[in-house]
Chain A
Amino acid sequence: MDMELYKLTIHEASDLLHRGEISSRELTKSVLERIEATESKLHSFISIHPEAALKQADKADWLRENPNSKELHVLTGIPFALKDNICTRGIRTTCASRLMEQFNPSIDGAVVKKLKNAHAVLIGKLNMDEFAIGSSGESSIFPHTRNPWAADRVPGGSSGGSAASVAADQVLFSLGSDTGGSIRQPASFCGITGMKPSFGAVSGYGLIPFATSLDQLGPMCKDVTDCAIVMNVITGFDPMDRMSAKISHPDYTSYLKQDVSGMRIGLLRGWMEGTISGDVRMAIEKAAKLYQDMGAWIEEITLPHMEYAVSAYLLISSAEASHNLTAGKGMRMGYKEGEICELDELAVGSGLQSLGASVKKRILLGNTGLCNDNYEIYYKEALKLRTLIKEDFDRVFEKCDLILTPTNPDTAFLFGEMEINVIEMYKYDAYTVPVNLAGLPAVSIPCGFDSKGLPIGMQLIGRLYGEGALLQASYAFEQNTDHHIKSPVLITSTD
């Protein structure tokens, strides 16, 4: 077939594969060529594995040709990529950190196993902020991923590579991880659909943790249908992850209906009025209006403790990160600069010298928050706030089915723009962070473009395990708009 196969969505490609009109090899080759043409400008990937990918594609084609195969799945033969903090057996998994640069896991993450069982085709591992700590991709030790819509802008973070690769049609879908917005914010910056599932919906086994009580893996896709397809594969209870939820997951594609009539959508308005960009506000107003036109009820809501969410988040996530990233890892991972003779030197030295500034900052903040009396003064207070924020959401969900907010107060910023003022960057997380603290599901979908031509994302937040309703409302919106179809015009190296 002579078309740009890499541009396909999962459901489109799957139909063609199913009908035998294309092969997975053709699709995979197309994707690999696309990567070759764009990667030197984009830097979405940390590692690419073309040969292994083509082998998997051939296996998928063989399965498709074998009519008795029970192993066939919608994702069979579909090329995808993983954020580089998800362990892949025998494939280097770096967390974009010097510390882990040579780490070759002996395990596959639970999601990796599931995607392998579905015979999806792993293309490579994606760039990110170091240890998933960051909102711009700028803390990666590898060349920083660029925003496909504007090369001087960040793709967002920490799943920046995951978002950019999907937006630039380098893969059909990717997985990211979201601790405080790390799926949704880059999805919004790059104009794609990204979902953070409920806490416990997806097994975290094999995810190198940043802040375990907040981390959640999720799909990053070209549209809502693809999101539902990937959710069907990656969700489910896993005895290896005791925090994964013992619930039965529905067929998420069954929610892809253009119907929101009677749905009650809470609109968070007024909050952060001064800091939110005019373009973003307008896009959200328009989205609310569209929902109203489609038959949904829009209600204004408040979340009184939301303004404290970022502070609580910083304390809790840093405390957890300080344990997760302690020096022992440094010793085992074996990074060292020069000769190290003493154990203490190895412990402190190798860990600290190889970590980037933002990770160090988090470890220091986390340790400080847990030491002695600070545990009561800071950490425990943060936990109380977390409870209050959960209760805020509970109250809202008594009268609403969903909450509508912008994903971020503004669109993608410039490289280096936030370096001077980290607090400013944290503000970008103000809408996404409370969702992680409450363990709720949320999705970011494209809802327009600002005056600079950059994509705007809107966030829908659902009840715990209410991914179905989220997908339904997202799908209805998407089917009545065309933002998700627009692609960035990339200057490729062959041009």
Chain B
Amino acid sequence: MFETIIGLEIHVELKTRTKLFCGCSTGFGDPPNHNICPVCAGMPGALPALNEEAVRLAIRAGRALSCRINPVSSFDRKSYFYPDLPKSYQITQHQIPICEGGYLDLEDPDNSPEKGLYRRIAIERIHLEEDAAKLIHPEDRPVTLVDYNRAGIPLIEIVTRPELTSPEDAAAFLKELKAILEYLGVSDCRMEQGSLRCDVNISVRKTGSRKPGTKVEIKNMNSFREIQKALEYEQERQKKLFLSNRSHEIISETRMWDSRQGITKPMRFKDEGRHYRFFPEPDLPPIDLRSSRTLSWLEENLPELPGQKRERFVKQYGLSSYEAGILTGSRALADYFEEVTAYGVRPGDASNWIITELLRLWKPSEDRGSPVRSRSLAQLIRLIDEGRISRNAAKEVLNDMHAAGREPMDIIMQKNLIQVSGQDEIAELVEAVMADNTDAVQEYKAGKSKVFGFLMGQIMKAGRGRVNPNIAGKILEERLKG
């Protein structure tokens, strides 16, 4: 048997208006090299000036992850030569990071009491640094383009201790971390836009072995799913090498995830043995949080975090932890759920409709609100409750509400979807169906009770789905017996 040990290094772009050391915009999707100035382009003579908002956000992240916030931290230069680095050095925090020694609790998937409810993953440090430029390799030309818009955007790097034991764990950790950072307003954590990037370290060893496994780094994953897949592939690759007595072939290296082939490959360029020549940044004073002004940053109220919210949803609304988990996956969704219940909808119904129906139409995020207003969804659910439309009709209404942005009653009236609940009206329908299907009625009377379902179907069809099935069922039963 084998043990897997995984550590993560997560780079998260902070949601500041301007860059870490200059006034340039951090806007995503602007024309290339639009948001640059002498400072972030590294022109000789220009000097960095620290963006305090970035410090505040880093502190928020640190506190939410139960880190120690260092009262004094400082910047260092990390030197290496690459076209994405305009100054030839990156301003980062090497010696004294702003946050150290925190943790994140992962809910145990089995939730079994023996295992404990949570697994605690230690966080080594969080430090502030500037992002590098973006290199673009066009497929049609043998050139590399550099977009310095990204150079100087504030990042925090979150480094975990190697305490994750499976690819699923790693994915769960990232999901939870992303939710926390989104809740805090620290980052929008969009992997597809590169505002969250993750490098992983993985080592595999035989269970009980004292010797730590050889650490392999994997880069180039663009989603949590890919991270999990890459880790699973790498875990299997290393296990196989062990089993075929080729464990010496596992070397400490950086591998690239190839999502097309679903494999990891050694990087063409090795970046080991680089001398970064770390050195204290002489252009910036240390970050000193001991002044009365900055002290308040350490005491700011943090919003309710995903874990706390999950617990509350289970207790307050009687939801399963599965449901609570989904609904607290983003702050926008959790808020939406609570709004719907505030309109008087039973939490169970609200949860059902949101999870099974609404989430088909909406991928919640901070700046993408629900296409269906909470009040409208509450109204729709109430109409079902009151028996005025059927569940099936309601699904159709919801689709239309989403597509056309209209109120449920509008659509129901226009499409004439009001449920027929009048005894006489339904009785007429039942009798008409029975008259058209005498064979089936005979079969039923002969003891073939299965035919009941067929007859019900015919009634619903005749009523174009608007017939209240409970009432129709009762009447049919009476007539068949009679």
Which residues of A come within 8 Å of B, CB atoms?
86-87, 93, 95, 100, 103, 105-107, 109, 204-209, 211-213, 239-243, 319-320, 322-323, 326-329, 331-332, 343, 347, 367, 370-372, 375, 379
**A106, B49: Cβ atoms under 8 Å?**
no
Whole-angstrom CA separation of A206 from B44 in the bound complex: 7
**A107, B43: Cβ atoms under 8 Å?**
yes
* Residues on the A chain within 8 Å of B44, using CB: 87, 93, 95, 100, 103, 105, 208-209, 329
Contact of B47 with A by CB under 8 A: yes
Please list 10 pairs of residues, one from A and one from B, whose beta carbons are closer than 8 Å in the complex, sorted by A's number. A87-B44, A105-B43, A206-B45, A242-B50, A242-B284, A320-B279, A323-B279, A326-B89, A327-B81, A331-B83
In the assembled complex, the CB of B389 is this many whole angstroms from the nearest CB of chain A, namely 63
Whole-angstrom CA separation of A206 from B43 in the bound complex: 9
- CB within 8 A of B285: which of A100, A208, A243, A326? A243
- CB within 8 A of B47: which of A205, A213, A328? A205
- CB within 8 A of B283: which of A242, A322, A372? A242
* Residues on the A chain within 8 Å of B38, using CB: 105-107
Whole-angstrom CA separation of A212 from B77 in the bound complex: 13
Contact of B387 with A by CB under 8 A: no
In the assembled complex, the CB of A329 is this many whole angstroms from the nearest CB of chain B, namely 7
Instruction: Look across to chain A and name the residue whose beta carbon is closest to the beta carbon of B87.
Output: A328
Instruction: Look across to chain B and name the residue whose beta carbon is closest to the beta carbon of A324.
Output: B44
**A370, B277: Cβ atoms under 8 Å?**
yes
* Residues on the A chain within 8 Å of B282, using CB: 211-213, 243, 320
Consensus secondary structure, chain B interface? loop
Chain A CB within 10 A, most for which of B47, B77, B86: B47
**A107, B88: Cβ atoms under 8 Å?**
no
Number of residue pairs A-B, CB distance < 8 angstroms: 93
Instruction: Look across to chain B and name the residue whose beta carbon is closest to the beta carbon of A211.
Output: B282
In the assembled complex, the CB of B477 is this many whole angstroms from the nearest CB of chain A, namely 83
Given A370-B278, A371-B277, A107–B45 Cβ distance below 8 Å?
A: yes
- CB within 8 A of B83: which of A106, A343, A371? A343
In the assembled complex, the CB of B93 is this many whole angstroms from the nearest CB of chain A, namely 15
**B88, A327: Cβ atoms under 8 Å?**
yes
Contact of B404 with A by CB under 8 A: no
* Residues on the A chain within 8 Å of B79, using CB: 322-323, 326
**A367, B277: Cβ atoms under 8 Å?**
yes
Contact of B48 with A by CB under 8 A: yes
Whole-angstrom CA separation of A242 from B286 in the bound complex: 10
Whole-angstrom CA separation of A109 from B88 in the bound complex: 22
**A204, B278: Cβ atoms under 8 Å?**
no
* Residues on the A chain within 8 Å of B87, using CB: 326, 328
* Residues on the A chain within 8 Å of B83, using CB: 331, 343
Instruction: Look across to chain B and name the residue whose beta carbon is closest to the beta carbon of A214.
Output: B282
* Residues on the B chain within 8 Å of A243, using CB: 282-285
440-456 of chain B: CB within 8 A of chain A: none
Given A213-B282, A327-B81, A370-B277, A242–B45 Cβ distance below 8 Å?
A: no
Given A242-B47, A323-B89, A372-B275, A328–B42 Cβ distance below 8 Å?
A: yes
* Residues on the A chain within 8 Å of B42, using CB: 328, 332
Whole-angstrom CA separation of A106 from B278 in the bound complex: 29
- CB within 8 A of B81: which of A87, A208, A347? A347
Contact of B46 with A by CB under 8 A: yes
Whole-angstrom CA separation of A320 from B277 in the bound complex: 11
Chain B CB within 10 A, most for which of A240, A323, A329, A347: A323
* Residues on the A chain within 8 Å of B283, using CB: 212, 242-243
* Residues on the B chain within 8 Å of A242, using CB: 47-50, 283-285
Contact of B85 with A by CB under 8 A: yes
Given contacts A320-B279, A323-B89, 12 further A-B contacts (CB under 8 A): A86-B45, A93-B45, A106-B38, A107-B38, A205-B46, A209-B44, A212-B282, A243-B284, A320-B282, A326-B88, A332-B86, A367-B277
In the assembled complex, the CB of B46 is this many whole angstroms from the nearest CB of chain A, namely 6
Whole-angstrom CA separation of A109 from B275 in the bound complex: 32
**B277, A204: Cβ atoms under 8 Å?**
no
Whole-angstrom CA separation of A296 from B200 in the bound complex: 69
* Residues on the B chain within 8 Å of A329, using CB: 44, 88
Chain A CB within 10 A, most for which of B48, B83, B86, B284: B83
Instruction: Look across to chain A and name the residue whose beta carbon is closest to the beta carbon of B277.
Output: A370
**B43, A328: Cβ atoms under 8 Å?**
no
Instruction: Look across to chain A and name the residue whose beta carbon is closest to the beta carbon of B86.
Output: A328
Whole-angstrom CA separation of A207 from B77 in the bound complex: 19
Q: 5 smallest A-B Cβ distances: which pairs?
A: A328-B88, A212-B282, A326-B88, A213-B282, A87-B45
* Residues on the B chain within 8 Å of A107, using CB: 38, 43, 45-46
Whole-angstrom CA separation of A86 from B42 in the bound complex: 16
In the assembled complex, the CB of B186 is this many whole angstroms from the nearest CB of chain A, namely 24
Instruction: Look across to chain B and name the residue whose beta carbon is closest to the beta carbon of A103.
Output: B44
Whole-angstrom CA separation of A241 from B283 in the bound complex: 8
* Residues on the B chain within 8 Å of A240, using CB: 47, 49
Whole-angstrom CA separation of A326 from B77 in the bound complex: 12
277-326 of chain B: CB within 8 A of chain A: 277-279, 282-285
